Amino acid sequence: MIYTLTLNPSIDYIMPLEHLQLGATNYAQGEYMLPGGKGINVSRVLNQLNVPNQALGFIGGHTGKFIEEWLEKEGAACQFIPVEGQTRINVKLKGESETEINGRGPEISQEKSRELKKQIGQLTAQDTLVISGSKNKGLSETFYNEIIEICQKNQTSFILDTNSKELLEALVAQPFLVKPNQAELGDLFGETIQTKEEAIHYGKKLQEAGAQNVIVSLGGEGAIFIDESQVIIADSPKGKVKNTVGSGDSMIAGFIAGIEKGKSKEEAFKLGVQSGSATAFNEDLATKKEIEALNDQIKTREVE
Ligand SMILES: Nc1ncnc2c1ncn2[C@@H]1O[C@H](COP(=O)(O)OP(=O)(O)OP(=O)(O)O)[C@@H](O)[C@H]1O
Ligand SMILES: O=P(O)(O)OC[C@@]1(O)O[C@H](CO)[C@@H](O)[C@@H]1O
């Protein structure tokens, strides 16, 4: 079974604007709310692709209820731990460019943190845990390392999509997949990555340090897949971009779905790119139909 972990879920409050002016009152052209948080996004797209999964994490207050009710309506399986306080609201401003203001989220007590670790401790070698997103106040600096240690002990495979320090430290535990975007990959090595060649060079370092599979996502420019025996470049399909929030998460879900369905890694990678782009071309995360509409549109090429 696939499990996703979202320590700090969110309501994503999306506001399209013609023009954002700092220091002034701005009026949006409209607004809408979606359940958010990286693991929850992965779960929602996995559901679209008919891959059974369970969403885990902490949830609180009215805002948390909004997320649970939404997921329930979609038939998504979740087993959140209720906490004091309100799940955060992340504001996504869609002007000429996208500006995001993410909340801090509720503080997590030691007791709740222990409860989550106990839950994760029940996963087995047949399970995969997708760990992604930021950590809440109250959790130790090393919380993700502690979760990964539990996974290692139980031989639970894991995927990690989080910030630089934790990602680098986790490589030795051989994550099944890491998926930095271009800027995040640069941050890991204190470099600015400008070309696909540079992205391949640094992506390979993550694979050599332990990651079983690496995807470097490049937004509208596509993505690069690296494992021990191949490097594959994919171009993104062209389309009208509506909301790229969650496109990276959708890409992870697409890759997992491909692997779960027994496809080759190249085909799974293509399904990842397809899912990421289908989400970018949609207001909410992509549906199965929107993902399938991009069938045969992902061109890949293997490089040295
Ligand atoms: N403008 C776009 N046009 C087409 N496809 C896109 C576009 N932006 C993103 N995608 C698709 O989604 C994938 C992931 O996008 P990106 O590299 O922006 O990930 P990310 O930064 O992790 O995303 P996010 O944090 O918004 O979830 C890309 O590899 C591509 O397939
Ligand atoms: O603050 P974090 O946890 O790093 O990211 C949270 C978030 O920006 O990531 C998702 C998109 O990937 C959104 O649904 C959500 O608002």
Domains along the sequence of the chain with CATH: 1-162 (3.40.1190.20), 178-304 (3.40.1190.20)
Among candidate residues 12, 161, 249, 284, the one labeled active-site is: 249
pLDDT in tens, 90-115: 999 998 888 999 999 999 999 999 99
Ligand 2 centroid to residue 302 C-alpha, Å: 31
248 lines ligand 2 (CB under 6 A): yes
User: Do 259 and 282 touch, CB atoms closer than 8 A?
Assistant: no
Q: Which residue has the tokens 């910030």?
A: 163
Q: Ligand 1 pocket test: which of 10, 92, 179, 236 has the largest number of ligand atoms within 8 Å of its C-beta?
A: 236
Question: Residue 190 above 80 pLDDT?
Answer: yes
Which residue type occupies 36? G
249 lines ligand 1 (CB under 6 A): yes
What is the residue-averaged pLDDT of the chain?
96
- Per the annotation, the verdict on 249 as an active-site residue is yes
Which residue type occupies 239? G
75: left (phi over 0), alpha (psi -120 to 50) or beta: left
Confidence of residue 122 (pLDDT cuts 50, 70, 90): very high
41 lines ligand 2 (CB under 6 A): yes
Strand order in the sheet with 2-6: 81-82, 53-59, 2-6, 128-132, 157-161, 177-178, 214-217, 223-226, 231-234, 300-303
Q: Record the pTM.
A: 0.97
Question: Residue 164 above 80 pLDDT?
Answer: no
162 lines ligand 2 (CB under 6 A): no
User: Do 295 and 274 touch, CB atoms closer than 8 A?
Assistant: yes
Query: What are the residue ranges of helices labelled H in 100-210?
Result: 110-120, 143-153, 164-170, 182-189, 196-208
Q: Which residue has the tokens 């993410």?
A: 102
Bridge partners of residue 82, in order along the sequence: 59
Q: Ligand 2 pocket test: which of 6, 12, 187, 251 has the largest number of ligand atoms within 8 Å of its C-beta?
A: 12
Question: Residue 145 above 90 pLDDT?
Answer: yes
Token pair, residue 197, equals 């060649």
Question: Residue 261 above 80 pLDDT?
Answer: yes
What 3-state DSSP class applies to 274? helix
